[in-house]
């Protein structure tokens, strides 16, 4: 029976990279019933809402979505897309794998960053403090870390490590300074780690040292788990180790749904030119296949993709070639057989 998945092609280059991804999945024989829905500017054009209820309802039904990049409309009155998705589906784990495809500055990077997505400094509890006549003399932002939130994200990282045959989880924190919030995250992390002792190795790193270790010996890291703000920064740093955002997929895993996406934006400068690299969305679709247990197909697509990229003769402009999106897609499909 085919598996229903909500497809949000997105804005800018979104529709063209989504078409490429759908073609590749079909060529690999994935039996998916795509439920096409709009969001972003396409959502505003059709329903006057960047995250229409009909799209949210579709994800509620399918519990799985593949999402192209979305342009956030400027101006008040529109709901924030990411906030709406995160809140509706409690998308607590942001998973960002990055690995070397073409050896460059580093040859053997293979890191999966697991970022807590709903707590920490990004919860939006902020206010100004008036001193004397100045209403904005100071500002305060609150970071909230909960035992429950810490436990489920660290547990997710360990379960991911076991499911993907990975050896080590590195927990990144700043408990030496932020003794309460980061201290709680670290304490809970150590407790959870004990349950996995003997099966997955555990280590701790302080965020500033981690930033340095990542550029000095990235090959020594495996699964990395951290809080929201640190994860936001480290995930881009890790993408940079393997050639930037063009090949960076991401997954947002929640209690009630999972949404897979390309990490890059809508690339308005190249939209409509048939030159965008669909790689990040293709790799995101592979993560989705793995998530639903179709590992063999995910691996087959990934290996056709990697061989095409390594071969280098039919690759798009951002990977140093001259191929169009369609030609690159055809070259990957040709390697699937
Ligand atoms: P961007 O990622 O769209 O573009 C940055 C640069 O990378 C551009 O030169 C672009 O041509 C290039 N690029 C990006 N993806 C590419 C691909 N697949 N193939 C070839 N080249 C690619 O970032 P920018 O310009 O900051 O944002 C543009 C729009 O995207 C904004 O409206 C922003 O809000 C939105 N955005 C949406 C995201 C999402 O929905 N996940 C994430 C980031 C930005």
What pLDDT shows up at residue 76?
66
Asked if 5 contacts 66 with a C-beta cutoff of 8 angstroms, the reply is: yes
CA 242 to CA 287: how far, in whole Å?
18
Name the pLDDT band for 103 (thresholds 50, 70, 90).
confident
Distance (angstroms) between ligand 1 centre and the Cα of 267 equals 4
Q: Is residue 276 in contact with ligand 1, taking CB distance under 6 Å?
A: yes
Reduced to 3 states (helix: H, G, I; strand: E, B; else coil), residue 320 is coil
Q: Which stretch of DSSP H or E encloses residue 176?
A: none
Distance (angstroms) between ligand 1 centre and the Cα of 269 equals 9
From atom 2 of ligand 1, which residue's Cα is the shortest distance away?
265
Q: Length of the chain in residues, anyone?
A: 337
What pLDDT shows up at residue 35?
98
What pLDDT shows up at residue 313?
95
For 128, phi then psi, to 5°, come to -90, 160
CA 287 to CA 118: how far, in whole Å?
21
CA 88 to CA 81: how far, in whole Å?
11
Smallest CA-to-CA distance from 257 within 56, 54, 107 is with 56
In percent, the amount of the chain with pLDDT more than 90 equals 88
Asked if 248 contacts 98 with a C-beta cutoff of 8 angstroms, the reply is: yes
Q: Which stretch of DSSP H or E encloses residue 328?
A: helix 325-334
pLDDT in tens, 113-134: 999 999 999 888 899 999 999 9
Asked if 250 contacts 260 with a C-beta cutoff of 8 angstroms, the reply is: yes
| DSSP assignment letter at 2 | P
CATH number for 1-91+254-337 (one of 2.102.10.10, 3.40.718.10, 3.40.50.620, 3.40.50.300): it is: 3.40.718.10
Q: How many C-beta neighbours within 10 Å does residue 309 have?
A: 23
Which 3-state string (H, E, C) describes 5-65? EEEECCCCCHHHHHHHHHHHHHHCCCCEEEEECCCHHHHHHHHCCCCCHHHHHHHHHHCEE
Selected catalytic residue, list 11, 92, 122, 294: 122
Sequence ranges of the chain with CATH classification 3.40.718.10: 1-91+254-337, 95-243
Q: Is residue 264 in contact with ligand 1, taking CB distance under 6 Å?
A: yes
Q: Are strands 249-253 and 258-262 parallel, antiparallel or unpaired?
A: antiparallel
What pLDDT shows up at residue 259?
98
CA 278 to CA 329: how far, in whole Å?
8
Looking at the chain, the number of H-run helices and the number of E-run strands are: 11, 12
CATH topology of domain 95-243: Isopropylmalate Dehydrogenase (3.40.718)
Q: Is residue 116 in contact with ligand 1, taking CB distance under 6 Å?
A: no
What pLDDT shows up at residue 74?
78
Reduced to 3 states (helix: H, G, I; strand: E, B; else coil), residue 87 is helix
pLDDT in tens, 176-210: 999 999 999 999 999 999 999 999 999 999 999 99
């Amino acid at each position: 029976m085919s598996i229903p998945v909500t497809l949000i092609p997105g804005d800018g280059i979104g529709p063209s990279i989504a078409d490429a991804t759908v073609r590749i999945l079909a060529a690999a024989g994935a039996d998916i019933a795509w439920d096409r829905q709009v969001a972003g500017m396409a959502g505003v054009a059709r329903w006057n809402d960047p995250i229409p209820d009909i799209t949210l309802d579709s994800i509620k039904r399918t519990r799985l979505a593949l999402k192209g990049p979305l342009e956030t409309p400027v101006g008040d009155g529109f709901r924030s897309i990411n906030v709406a998705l995160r809140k509706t589906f409690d998308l607590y784990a942001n998973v960002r794998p990055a690995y070397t495809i073409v050896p460059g500055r580093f040859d053997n990077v293979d890191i999966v960053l697991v970022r807590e997505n709903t707590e920490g400094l990004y919860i939006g509890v902020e206010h100004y403090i008036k001193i004397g006549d100045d209403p904005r003399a100071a500002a305060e932002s609150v970071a909230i870390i909960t035992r429950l939130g810490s436990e489920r994200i660290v547990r997710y990282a360990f379960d991911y490590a076991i499911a993907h045959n990975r050896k080590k989880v590195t927990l990144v924190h700043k408990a030496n300074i932020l003794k309460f919030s980061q201290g709680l995250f670290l304490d809970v992390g150590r407790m959870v780690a004990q349950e996995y002792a003997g099966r997955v190795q555990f280590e701790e790193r302080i965020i500033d040292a981690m930033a340095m270790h990542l550029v000095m010996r990235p090959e020594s890291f495996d699964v990395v788990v951290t809080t929201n703000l640190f994860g936001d920064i480290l995930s881009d740093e890790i993408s940079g180790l393997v050639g930037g955002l063009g090949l960076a997929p991401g997954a947002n895993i929640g209690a009630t749904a999972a949404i897979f996406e390309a990490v890059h934006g809508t690339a308005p400068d190249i939209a409509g030119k048939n030159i965008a690299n669909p790689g990040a969305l293709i790799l995101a679709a592979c993560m989705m296949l793995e998530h639903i247990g179709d590992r063999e197909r995910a691996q087959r697509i990934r290996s056709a993709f990697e061989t095409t990229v390594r071969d280098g003769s039919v690759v798009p402009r951002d990977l140093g070639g001259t191929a169009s999106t369609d030609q690159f897609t055809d070259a990957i499909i040709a390697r699937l057989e």
